[in-house]
Amino acid sequence: MKIKTISGAERFSLKRSIDAGTDEQRKTVRSIIEDVKANGDQAVRSYTARFDGIEIDSPLVTKEEIEKAYTSLDSQLLQVMRQAIENIREYHERQLQSSWFYHRKDGTMLGQKVTALDSAGVYVPGGTAAYPSSVLMNVIPALTAGVERIVLVTPPGKDGQLSPGVLVAAAELGIKDIYKMGGAQAIAALAYGTETIEPVDKITGPGNIYVALAKREVFGDVDIDMIAGPSEIVVLADETAIPREIAADLLSQAEHDKLSSSVFVTDSMTLAEAVSAEVNEQLKTLPRREIAEAAVNDYGCIYVAETMDEAIDTVNTLAPEHLEIITQSPEALLGRIKHAGAIFLGRYSPEPVGDYFAGPNHVLPTNGTARFSSPLNVTDFQKRSSIISYSQSAFEEHAESIAAFARLEGLEAHARSIESRERRNSK
Amino acid sequence: MKIKTISGAERFSLKRSIDAGTDEQRKTVRSIIEDVKANGDQAVRSYTARFDGIEIDSPLVTKEEIEKAYTSLDSQLLQVMRQAIENIREYHERQLQSSWFYHRKDGTMLGQKVTALDSAGVYVPGGTAAYPSSVLMNVIPALTAGVERIVLVTPPGKDGQLSPGVLVAAAELGIKDIYKMGGAQAIAALAYGTETIEPVDKITGPGNIYVALAKREVFGDVDIDMIAGPSEIVVLADETAIPREIAADLLSQAEHDKLSSSVFVTDSMTLAEAVSAEVNEQLKTLPRREIAEAAVNDYGCIYVAETMDEAIDTVNTLAPEHLEIITQSPEALLGRIKHAGAIFLGRYSPEPVGDYFAGPNHVLPTNGTARFSSPLNVTDFQKRSSIISYSQSAFEEHAESIAAFARLEGLEAHARSIESRERRNSK
Position B355 scores a pLDDT of 87
Q: What is the pLDDT at residue B92? A: 98
Does position A227 have pLDDT exceeding 90, yes or no?
no
Integer Cα distance of A266 and A314 in angstroms: 10
Strand partners, B114: B384
User: Which strand (E) or helix (H) includes residue A325?
Assistant: strand A322-326
Phi, psi values for residue B322, rounded to 5°:
-115, 135
Classify residue B9 as left (phi > 0), alpha (psi -120 to 50) or beta: alpha
**pLDDT tens track for B14-23:** 777 767 788 8
B330 and chain A: CB distance < 8 Å anywhere? yes
Q: Which amino acid is at A419?
A: E
Q: Is the minimum CB–CB distance between A220 and chain B shorter than 8 Å? A: yes
Contact between A223 and B373 using a beta-carbon 8 Å cutoff: yes
β partners of residue B63: none
- In this prediction, residue A409 carries a pLDDT of 78
Q: Do A405 and B256 touch (CB under 8 A)?
A: no
State yes or no: B414 annotated in a binding site.
yes
Residues 394-413 of B with CB under 8 A from A: 394-395, 398, 401-406, 408-413
Angstrom distance (rounded) from CA B129 to CA B206: 9
User: What's the CA gap between B98 and B81, in Å, rounded?
Assistant: 29
Q: Does A49 touch chain B (CB under 8 A)?
A: no
Could you tell me the end-to-end alpha-carbon distance of chain A, in angstroms, rounded to an integer? 81
The CA dihedral of B68, B72, B73, B74, to the nearest 10 degrees, is: 150
A170/A160 Cα distance (integer angstroms): 18
Report the DSSP beta bridge partners of residue A224.
A203
Q: Does B105 touch chain A (CB under 8 A)?
A: no
Residue B29 to residue A117: CA distance in whole angstroms: 34
Give pLDDT, residue B72.
Answer: 94
Across A78-97, average pLDDT? 96
Q: By percentage, how much of chain B surpasses pLDDT 70?
A: 97
Q: For residues A364 and A135, what is the distance between their CA atoms, to the nearest angstrom?
A: 15
pLDDT at B424 (0 to 100) = 52
**A355–B414 C-beta distance less than 8 A:** yes
Whether pLDDT at A10 is above 90: no
Distances (CA, A) of A185 to A19, A32, A70, A99, A215: 20, 6, 28, 37, 11
How many residues are present in chain B? 427
Whether pLDDT at B103 is above 90: yes
SS3 B377: coil
Active-site position among A92, A232, A255, A322: A322
Contact between chains at B349 and A384 (C-beta distance less than 8 A) = no
Q: Where are the alpha helices (DSSP H) in A48-93?
A: 63-72, 75-93
Q: In whole numbers, what is the pLDDT of chain A averaged over residues?
A: 93
Q: Tell me the mean pLDDT in the region B146-154.
A: 98
From the centroid of its chain, how far is CA A15?
A: 18
* Structure confidence at residue A375 as a pLDDT band (50, 70, 90): very high
Residues forming a β-bridge with A102: A110
Please report the pLDDT score of residue B16 as a whole number.
75
Task: Return residues 125-184 of B near A (CB < 8 Å).
Answer: 128, 131-133, 165
ipTM: 0.93
Q: State the Cα–Cα distance between residues B211 and B217, nearest whole angstrom.
A: 10
Query: Which residues pair with residue B166 across a beta bridge?
Result: none
CA distance A170 to A183: 19
Q: Please tell me the least confidently modeled range out of A35-39, A121-125, A261-265, A402-406.
A: A402-406
pLDDT in tens, B229-258: 889 999 999 999 999 999 999 999 999 989
A27 and chain B: CB distance < 8 Å anywhere? no
Average pLDDT over residues A361-383: 96
Q: Do A404 and B348 touch (CB under 8 A)?
A: no
**Residue A132: its chain B contacts at CB < 8 A?**
408-409
Q: Which residues contact A368 (CB under 8 A, 6 or more apart)?
A: A13, A14, A15, A318, A319
Structural contact between residues A83 and B401, judged by C-beta atoms closer than 8 angstroms: yes
pLDDT for residue A41: 97
Q: Which residue of B has its CA nearest to A389?
A: B345
Cα–Cα distance between B204 and A264 in angstroms, integer? 35
| Residue A208, annotated as binding a ligand | yes
Residues A245-301 pLDDT 10s: 999 999 999 999 899 999 999 999 999 999 999 999 999 999 999 999 999 999 999
| Yes or no, beta carbons of B385 and A340 under 8 Å apart | yes
A230, B71, B90 from A219: Cα distances, Å: 21, 45, 33
Task: Answer with the residue of higher pLDDT: A408 or A50.
Answer: A50
pLDDT at A425: 44
B383 burial (CB, 10 Å; 0-12 / 13-18 / 19+) is buried
Nearest CA in chain B to A404: B77
Model confidence band, residue B427 (pLDDT cutoffs 50, 70, 90): very low
Q: B185 among the known binding-site residues?
A: yes
Query: For B347-364, how does the pLDDT look when each residue is reduced to its tens digit (9 = 90+)?
Result: 999 999 998 899 999 999
CA distance linking residue A413 with residue B245, whole number of Å: 11
Taking the C-alpha atoms of residue B53 and residue A391, their distance in angstroms, rounded to an integer, is 48
End-to-end CA distance of chain B: 80
* Nearest residue in A to B407, CA atom: A77
DSSP string, A229-270: -S-EEEEEE-TTS-HHHHHHHHHHHHTT-TT-EEEEEES-HH
B288 CB within 8 Å of a chain A CB = yes
Bridging pattern class, strands B382-389 and B109-116: antiparallel
Residue A68 has pLDDT above 50, yes or no: yes
The confidence score (pLDDT) of residue B11 equals 65
pLDDT per position as a tens digit, A167-191: 999 999 999 999 999 999 999 999 9
B356 part of contact set with chain A, CB < 8 Å:
yes
Residues 309-328 of A with CB under 8 A from B: none
| Dist CA B218 CA B229 (whole Å) | 19
Asked if A321 is an active-site residue, the reply is yes
For A381, which DSSP code? G
Helix or strand or coil: residue A322?
Answer: strand
The answer on pLDDT for A424 being more than 60 is: no
Cα separation of A117 and A144, whole Å?
Answer: 11
Using one digit for the tens of pLDDT, what is the confidence trace for A400-412? Answer: 989 988 887 788 9
* Domains with residue ranges and CATH for chain B: 23-108+116-224 (3.40.50.1980), 229-372 (3.40.50.1980), 390-419 (no CATH)
Per-residue confidence band for B304, with pLDDT thresholds at 50, 70 and 90: very high
Backbone angles phi, psi at B420, to 5 degrees: -60, -20
Residues A214, A217, A222, A223, Cα dihedral to 10°: 80
Q: How confident is the model at residue A423 (pLDDT cuts 50, 70, 90)?
A: low
Across B97-104, average pLDDT: 96
pLDDT confidence of residue B10: 63
The CA distance from B87 to A364, in Å, is 35
Cβ–Cβ gap B408/A220 under 8 Å: no
Q: Can you give the C-alpha Rg of chain A in angstroms?
A: 26
